[in-house]
Chains A and B, each alone.
Chain A
Amino acid sequence: MSLMKIFDTAGSGMAAESLRLNTVASNLANADSVSSSADSAYKAKELLFAPTQESEEGFGASADAEVNNGVRMVGVSESQQPVESQYEPGNPMADENGYVYSSNVNPIDELVNMISASRSYQNNVEVMNTTKQLMIKTIDLGS
């Protein structure tokens, strides 16, 4: 029953979006983290998605292999935005010049990302729900 494959596809979408939500949560949680050097300061993380190519054996493979594309996470990249330094000589994390380095997380970006991820997640849930209902209808055929 090929409707089953939709569960895999939508499921991979949900997994990817929840991973993205996780990243947003960790970025937001570390928005106020400070560090004693610019290199070790927390950098905002972003995920890179790519479609999964299931089986690619042979020429024509099958139509299903081509149709059925889930999504997967292929990597995490760190934001290249400059890290802000603040003069706080009283801070225990301050370097010899009295500076601390905060993260380069932009809360606005993260909130936008969060909304986008949750909407995409909902889309996938909706696809799964509809497919489930239709599968039940198909099973009940003729009763």
Chain B
Amino acid sequence: MSNTLDNVFGMNSQALEVWQRRSEAIASNIANADTPDYKARDVDFRQVLQQASGESSNLELATPSPGQINPVQQSADQLKYRVPLQPSLDGNTVDSQVEQSSFASNMVHYQASLSFINGTIQTLRLAINGGGQS
């Protein structure tokens, strides 16, 4: 059943997860806006979504025994460092304005994914109720 629902929602549910991770990263950046030597980081949306939906074109290295490190997983988990527009003397690379705008756009994207899912749910309801009263 859950598999069917996953198919219904398409990649929106995975996208939601990636937006969520990105918002976490940006929240960390904003919280550390005054921390010396803190390097701002961000999620590469395209790469992570490819990873999440299993559409990565890279061939994965097989890791048959439990002690081995999976390099694909590792590189996917890593966040990218942001290139600062204005480097500061204390080594902090957080740019509040950039972070604020990224957070805002990230949340709009999150809402977009949410409303796609919502639309699908309403369509399903309509199909179940046959257009009668909900």
On A, residues with C-beta under 8 Å from B are 2-3, 5-6, 9-10, 12-13, 16-17, 20, 48-51, 59-60, 62-64, 66-71, 116-117, 119-120, 123-124, 126-127, 130-131, 134, 137-138, 141-142
The residue on A at minimum CB distance from B24 is A67
- Assembled-state Cα–Cα distance A16/B36 (Å): 13
| Interface residues of B, dominant DSSP | helix
- Measured CB to CB, the residues of B under 8 A from A are 17, 20-21, 23-28, 30-36, 38, 41, 43, 69-70, 73-74, 76-79, 96, 99-100, 103-104, 107, 110-111, 114, 117-118, 121-122, 125
Partner of A63, one of B26, B30, B77, B96: B77
Query: Is the CB–CB distance between B114 and A137 below 8 Å?
Result: yes
Partner of A68, one of B24, B43, B100, B110: B24
What B residues does A13 contact at CB under 8 A?
A: 30-33
Q: In the complex, are the beta carbons of B20 and A10 less than 8 A apart?
A: no
Given contacts A49-B34, A71-B32, A71-B35, contact A123 B100 (CB under 8 A): yes
Q: Looking at the assembled complex, report how far the CB atom of B3 sits from the nearest CB atom of chain A, in whole angstroms.
A: 19
